[in-house]
Structure 1
Amino acid sequence: MKLLQYIFIIALIALTSCSKNDNSDHNNDVDDDQEQKTFYAGMDLSFQSELENYNIDYKDAEGNSIELLDFVKSKGTNLVRLKLWHSPQNGENGLEDIKAYAQRVKSKNMNFLLNFHYSDYWADPGTQTPPSAWQNLSLTDLKVAVYNYTKNVIGQLKSQHTLPDIIQIGNEIDNGFLWDYGKVWNAFDGNWVNYTSLVSEAIRAVREMDTENEIKIMLHHSNVENSIYFFYNLQTFNLDFDIIGLSYYPQFQTKDLNLVASKLNNLANRFNKDILMVEVAYPFTLEWNDNLTNYIGSTNQTILEFAPTPQGQKAYMEWLITTIRNIPNDKGIGFCYWPQTGSLLTATKVQPPTVHLGRINAYSIST
């Protein structure tokens, strides 16, 4: 079902940046008094390798066939996010899928963000099911399993010279992960010790394998508005992580742009961590392109200031980039576009396998 929703939304807004180093493959801002720092203009391509099994022909606005990674890189994309499941059930990425696509990403000199779900299926604030291989373990044994699994994944990526630049420990872990062992919600609010002990084992595995200190570790909360409570609770445990990852979907969260900016600034000032908007999306149309209902199909799901048009979508992204860049103390490090059905284009497997990037609004935005 996820693939049915995802099939033709991969070619998202291609983003370009203003690099001050013409010889660099990254999009960097350099201040005289600060270390060179990358601003990430990213996209989630977790299902791209599966989509290619359908011989999809990507085309630009002029109708010319293109290679997707080359095209989006030429428009400024410098980060690719890939989701990883333990024992995939429905075509999601397993380790071999990740290894193969990571080689392609790194061959383009692009940054790589690895998103561990620590589940066999989709993990989110309402579902954090441990992999079937880890069911009924004791907490002690589960910590060993988390450590060994994480270390094995990183070790295999390291051996083929495709270490991630960023590792995301869990997906949308607002309420913890690996339920009920690490659940921190409702009756399990006092379970922060178990949750952080599991996260610490994953982090320990990454740090041990990352002997050159090249990897940044991110923890991901799904809601800009409500994330302060989560990271406040983590402070007691002194977890060794580098980046606060956040999602912002206007159809689910506040549409008050000033509140979004305020929350981001508060996070930066309070926790002194880099902030990556690791899941963002916005529609360019409410019209259907097939016989499926759009995920975003009403103006009630959009922001008043940004119409669901190509121009409105571009304006939204420009607002978002400016907001991230204005986070205090240079803590806003970028974004990653995760296209939901309706935020770009819906289609089904029975449609002709051609994607026209001009049709789905592949324009450049200065970051």
Structure 2
Amino acid sequence: MKLLLVSMFMALVSQSVFAQNDFVKGADVGFLTGQEKHGVKFHDRDGKERECLELLKTDYQMKAIRMRVWVNPRGGMNDKHELLAMAKRAKGLGMDLMVDFHYSDSWADPAKQPIPEAWKEHSYKQMKKDVREHTIDVLSLLKANGIEPRWVQVGNETANGMLWPMGHIEQNPKQYAGFIRAGYDAVKKVFPQAIVIVHLDRGHLQSLYDYNLDIVKKYGGKFDMIGMSLYPYWAMQDHPELNPDGIITDCMANIRHCSEKYGCDVMIVETGFEVDEQHPEKMEEGRRQLTRVIREARNETNGRCRGVFYWEPQCLPGGYKLGAFNSNAAPTTIMEAYVE
């Protein structure tokens, strides 16, 4: 009996230590290339000019970046070459990489999942081949340049499916799962050790995850990890009766639920909090909320949440209100939540 208790204690300690050491703090920086092209110069809290990725890593303990990739985007924004250039910079700093495939020529999210122009007339069978070939093409470019992503997302916020209407979850659930499987198999062909993520929005909404992921599993889709978006701000825009702490509580419960039900780890791959320089108290509140998210994701999910990525923290106020930098391109107090 004593031996059993000791073994159980050591297992819990081991799990806790693993969760502490393997917990990743990161940032989606898909806008960074465009910002730099437009002359944005980033600074630390003391006003010293700094390279953005180095600032995020050194001052805010961010060990990874996330980059989206589109199929045939106008002007090359978020194409595979822009991905490669940023991946090289991250590797030079010793940062890990998450690749976020949208399988679109532009934005894909719960409200829209447009088929790339070049694929529009294709059959389901051909479109699965398109997904496979595009995935292999992008990842092979990274591999040829010595870049190995740690995580790969097959689709972006696919709550309602992907590649509409062909892969809409309500109209064609089997085909949605088929696209997920095609992407999964393509990732494993190039990088067998990469962690493949299925990514949904509204991390606080357990019913969404049950519905979507049950369909993926039912029809043969595969994934290694579940990615969640967590935006209390946007959730309350849609449902004013909600409050941020309740949303965070529900998200943590959903992480525990999903990890147990589907037998895999979870990661918050997108989050963000409001920057309002005219009302500093809003940024203090954002810091408080983010501090809670990081603390509970690390310590209160039975070791199954592997990290928290901030979506475009380097964005400046005016364009996107949930970045984490001010109009001087310096971190706001929100970023302090990442320093432990």
TM-score by length of 1: 0.77
SS of the residue corresponding to residue 269 of structure 1 reads helix
**Equivalent-residue separation in structure 2 for 1:119 and 1:347 (angstroms):** 23
- C-alpha change, 1:340 and 1:334, in structure 2 (3 Å) is closer
Q: Of 92, 103, 106, which aligns to 1:107? A: 92
SS of the residue corresponding to residue 270 of structure 2 reads strand
How far apart are residue 154 of structure 1 and its match?
Answer: 0.8
Quick check: 1:268–1:327 contact (8 Å CA) kept in 2?
no
Corresponding residue for 2:258? 267
Corresponding residue for 2:189? 208
Corresponding residue for 1:239? 221
Quick check: 1:175–1:183 contact (8 Å CA) kept in 2?
yes
**Equivalent-residue separation in structure 2 for 1:51 and 1:136 (angstroms):** 35
SS of the residue corresponding to residue 42 of structure 1 reads strand
Amino acid at match of 1:283: E
What does 1:304-315 correspond to in 2, within 5 Å?
308-315=281-288
Q: Of 54, 57, 65, which aligns to 2:38? A: 54
**Equivalent-residue separation in structure 2 for 1:315 and 1:266 (angstroms):** 25
Quick check: 1:344–1:360 contact (8 Å CA) kept in 2?
no
Sequence identity percentage: 24
Corresponding residue for 1:287? 278
**Equivalent-residue separation in structure 2 for 1:363 and 1:124 (angstroms):** 29
How far apart are residue 145 of structure 1 and its match?
Answer: 1.3
SS of the residue corresponding to residue 268 of structure 1 reads helix
Amino acid at match of 2:250: L
Q: Of 341, 345, 351, which aligns to 2:317? A: 345
**Equivalent-residue separation in structure 2 for 1:109 and 1:42 (angstroms):** 13
Amino acid at match of 2:262: F
SS of the residue corresponding to residue 363 of structure 1 reads helix
SS of the residue corresponding to residue 222 of structure 2 reads coil
**Equivalent-residue separation in structure 2 for 1:277 and 1:251 (angstroms):** 15
CA deviations on 1:46-98 (whole Å, 9 max, x unpaired) are 01111111221212222211111111110200110111110112663111111
**Equivalent-residue separation in structure 2 for 1:126 and 1:347 (angstroms):** 20
**Equivalent-residue separation in structure 1 for 2:228 and 2:100 (angstroms):** 13
Quick check: 1:39–1:333 contact (8 Å CA) kept in 2?
yes
Quick check: 1:182–1:194 contact (8 Å CA) kept in 2?
yes
Corresponding residue for 1:165? 150
Quick check: 1:220–1:244 contact (8 Å CA) kept in 2?
yes
Corresponding residue for 1:192? 173
Q: Please tell me whether residue 219 in structure 1 is matched to residue 180 in structure 2.
A: no
Quick check: 1:117–1:171 contact (8 Å CA) kept in 2?
yes
Gaps of 5+ in 1: 1-29, 289-306
Quick check: 1:219–1:245 contact (8 Å CA) kept in 2?
yes
SS of the residue corresponding to residue 220 of structure 1 reads strand
Number of residue pairs aligned between Structure 1 and Structure 2:
309
Q: Please tell me whether residue 131 in structure 1 is matched to residue 155 in structure 2.
A: no
What does 1:23-102 correspond to in 2, within 5 Å?
32=14, 38-74=22-58, 75-89=60-74, 92-102=77-87
Q: Is the deviation greater in 63-72 or in 87-96?
A: 87-96
Bigger relative contact order, structure 1 or 2, given CA contacts below 8 A and separation 6+? 1
SS of the residue corresponding to residue 54 of structure 2 reads helix
**Equivalent-residue separation in structure 2 for 1:141 and 1:347 (angstroms):** 38
Quick check: 2:228–2:267 contact (8 Å CA) kept in 1?
yes
- C-alpha change, 1:166 and 1:252, in structure 2 (3 Å) is same
**Equivalent-residue separation in structure 2 for 1:336 and 1:179 (angstroms):** 27
**Equivalent-residue separation in structure 1 for 2:282 and 2:176 (angstroms):** 42
Corresponding residue for 1:258? 249
**Equivalent-residue separation in structure 2 for 1:357 and 1:135 (angstroms):** 42
CA RMSD of superposed structures (Å):
2.7
Gaps of 5+ in 2: 1-11, 236-241, 321-325
**Equivalent-residue separation in structure 2 for 1:338 and 1:109 (angstroms):** 20
